[in-house]
Amino acid sequence: MITNKAYMAFGLLLAGLVVLGLAGDRFLLYISMRIMILAIFALGFDILFGRTGLLSFGHGAFYAGGAYGVALCYMHLAKDPLLCLLAGVLLATGLALVIGFFCVRHTEIYFAMLTLAFGMMVFSLIWNLREITGGDDGLVGVGRQAINLGLFKIPLRKESEFYFLVLAFFTGAIWVAHRIRTSPFGLILAGIRENDRRTEFAGVNIRNYRLAAFVISGAMAGLAGGLGVLLESNATPHISHWSHSSDPVLVGLIGGLNTLAGPLVGSLVFVGLKELVMRFTTYWMLFFGVVLLIILLGFRGGVVGTLVQRLAGRREVRS
């Protein structure tokens, strides 16, 4: 029942997004793409954070891996956007494999601090390897060439064209996250979060599973970063800084952990709310802070979690 409803809800969401892509104005499309890209970042992050219970403060590094991968590929190797994205995701995945190998030795706060340290190392490298990364000016001028399919080309230059590529990856990311959640692999990850000892006694090498979750979330962060570069046409070091790594953490906590809808709602609230608040005031941090407090104290477990609980509660009362 509920799964059917959930499928319907996602179907409606996608239909709505397609309509938006056909009818929305340029700014609405741009903001929607920002939200979808952040949602891809957060969907991957939730596999590690919400599902496996590991809080990372370094995923900006993988986002940056994807971003700089795309930008460097565009400048030095090939201009095809799909090839560039592939290069970006590969770079992010490799980075996540190496960093994750060290980080998954710990859990909880020690894991968080390790990821913070590695993330800031990547930030420092990007800032200082000026010949490759352009230093703090970053890499600028990444264009969106048409995707060449031999017989015909899919243009991406306009927002209204690129939008559908982002939407495709967004849908794919939801599908991947959903498949992981319902797979035996996903169940083991949840088992690790709930009780890692018991899961270990069941004969599971939990370190490998943690690493797998880490690498998947890193790869999806890389995809988000790559799409981000194609959207903004530049990559700057800030995206690897810890203050950017905290974005998916906030999104997860706002939307709700270990749910499929949580990262989506969280991203919508995170980008949409900030955009709206900035229209009223330049003191946006004050308002954003107050809203965070309200969400935290009023919606424990995130917006989605609270709503689901409320609805479930009401249903119980009725029946």
Partner 1 sequence: MLQSIVHVCLAGLSQGMFIWLVASGLTLIFGVLGVLNFAHGSFYMLGAYFCFMVLRALGENFWWGLLLGPVCVAAVGYLVERFFLRRVYGLELPYQLLLTFAFVLLFDDLVKIFWGAASIGTPPAPGLADSIMILGRRFPSYNLFVIAVGPLLALGLWGLLEKTWAGRIIRASSSDREMASALGVKVPTLFTAVFVFGTWLGALGGGLAVPYLGLLTPGMGEQIIIEAFVVAVIGGLGSLKGAFLGALVIGLLSAFGTRFLPTFDMFLTFILMAGVLLWRPQGFFGEAR
Partner 2 sequence: MSKKGMNRRQFVKAGLMTAAAAALGPAVLKPTSLWAAESKVKGPIKLGYQTVLSGTLAGYGEFHKMGAIMAMEEINTAGGIAGNKLEIEFRDSTLKAPDAIQNARYFVDSWGADFLAGIDSSGQALALAPVMAELDRVLMVTHAATEKLTEEQVFKNGVKQIFRIVTPTYQDGNAAAFVAKDLPVKTWATINPKYEYGFTCWNMFKETLSALKKDVTFTAESWAPFGTTDFRSHINTIMDAKPEGLYSVEWAGELITMVKQGIQAGLFNQVKHVMFPVGAAMDVLEGLGAEMPDNIWISGRYYFLYPNDKSNNDWVERFHKRWQHYPAYVSEGAYSTMYAFKKAVEAAGSKETKAVVGALEGMTLDSPAGKRVFRKEDHQAMYDVPWGLTVSNPKYPFKIMGKQVMVPAKDCFARPPFEGPGTKPPFKA
What residue ranges bind partner 1 (CB under 8 A)?
49, 55, 102, 105-106, 108-110, 112-114, 116-118, 120-121, 124-125, 128, 242-243, 246, 249-250, 252-253, 257, 283, 285-286, 288-290, 292-293, 296-297, 300
Select from partner 2, partner 1, none the partner in contact with residue 236, using the beta carbon and a kind-dependent cut-off of 5 to 8 Å: partner 2
Encoded tokens for 54: 């590991």
- CA–CA dist 226, 246 (Å, integer): 18
The least CB distance from residue 139 to partner 1, in Å, is: 20
- Partner whose binding site includes residue 233, from partner 1, partner 2, none (CB under 5 to 8 Å by kind): partner 2
Structure tokens at 133: 């990364």
Q: Taking CB under 8 A as the rule, does residue 246 contact partner 2?
A: no
Query: What part of residues 283-302 is at the interface with partner 2 (CB under 8 A)?
Result: 284-285
Q: How near is the Cβ of 108 to partner 2 at its closest, in Å? A: 29
Nearer to partner 2, 26 or 153 (CB): 26
Buried b (16+ CB within 10 A) or exposed e, 211-243: bbbbbbbbbbbbbbbbbbbbbbebbbbebbbbe
Instruction: Kindly tell me which residue out of 10, 238, 287, 308 binds partner 2, with binding defined by CB under 8 A.
Output: 238
Task: Closer to partner 1 by CB, 18 or 291: give it.
Answer: 291
105 binds, among partner 2, partner 1, none (CB under 5 to 8 A by kind): partner 1
Strands (DSSP E) contained in the chain are 139-140, 147-148, 153-154, 234-235
**CA dihedral over 88, 93, 98, 103, signed as positive or negative:** positive
Q: Which does 317 bind (CB under 5 to 8 A by kind): partner 2, partner 1, none?
A: none
Residue 289's φ and ψ, nearest 5 degrees, are: -60, -45
| Residue with tokens 């995923």, as numbered in its chain | 59
Nearest distance from residue 310's CB to partner 1, in Å?
18
Taking the complex as a whole, the smallest distance from the CB of residue 244 to partner 1 amounts, in Å, to: 13
DSSP, collapsed to helix, strand or coil, labels residue 148 as: strand
Q: Give which of 94, 134, 19, 216 is closest to 224, Cα–Cα.
A: 216
